[in-house]
């Protein structure tokens, strides 16, 4: 019997990931995004007939994590900041959607971001009389370096 033809796509489900901070699973993570921003030089030379040439000169990496306020880790970092230290942490994201075509082809992907430093605001109080929502914190950070690993 011939193999049945597939009609439906199997993209990675965005909610099927895991986030670790300093080796501990972050159960209260709601969203996580890490971005690479390319630095470019763009210019023209006399002989280029007006066409622009672009060269990548470097990259910057940053991210945001949104999590439910269930832990006090950001407040603990404030103590280090008050003591004149720059606290660092490691974030690891694991893409492991076994039902996706990506997983079937490549396996799970683990992205480890080291040397993460807070860059945004830390919410201390966020009251709203009209809200019945839960308290979430959006935490911005810069990343020193990234490591990629695939597991089949």
Grade residue 74 by pLDDT with cuts at 50, 70 and 90. confident
Give the residues across from 141 on adjacent strands. 63, 118
Q: State the pLDDT at residue 1.
A: 60
What's the pLDDT at 76?
87
Q: What pLDDT, on the 0 to 100 scale, is given for residue 151?
A: 79
* pLDDT higher than 80, residue 2: no
For the chain, the average pLDDT equals: 88
| Confidence grade of residue 78 (pLDDT, cut at 50, 70, 90) | very high
Q: Which residues contact 143 (CB under 8 A, 6 or more apart)?
A: 34, 61, 62, 63, 91, 113, 114, 115, 116
pLDDT at 36: 97
| Distance between CA atoms of residues 60 and 144, nearest Å | 8
The number of helices, as runs of H, and strands, as runs of E, in the chain is 2, 8
> 1 is written with which tokens?
């019997």
- pLDDT exceeds 70 at position 137: yes
Q: What is the mean pLDDT of residues 124-147?
A: 90
Higher pLDDT pick, 59 / 76: 59
Percent of the chain scoring above 90 in pLDDT: 41
């Amino acid at each position: 019997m011939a193999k049945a033809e597939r009609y439906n796509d199997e993209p990675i489900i965005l909610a099927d990931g895991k986030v670790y901070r300093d080796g501990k699973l972050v159960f209260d993570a709601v969203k996580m995004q890490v971005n690479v921003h390319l630095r470019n030089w763009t210019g023209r030379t006399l002989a280029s007939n007006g066409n622009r040439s672009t060269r990548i000169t470097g990259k910057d990496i940053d991210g945001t994590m949104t999590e439910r306020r269930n832990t006090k880790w950001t407040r603990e970092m404030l103590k280090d900041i008050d003591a004149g230290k720059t606290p660092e942490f490691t974030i690891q994201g694991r893409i492991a959607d076994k039902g996706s075509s990506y997983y079937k082809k490549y396996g799970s992907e683990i992205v480890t971001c080291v040397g993460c430093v807070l860059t945004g605001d830390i919410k201390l109080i966020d009251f709203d009389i009209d809200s019945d929502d839960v308290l979430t914190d959006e935490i911005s950070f810069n990343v020193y370096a990234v490591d990629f690993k695939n597991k089949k």
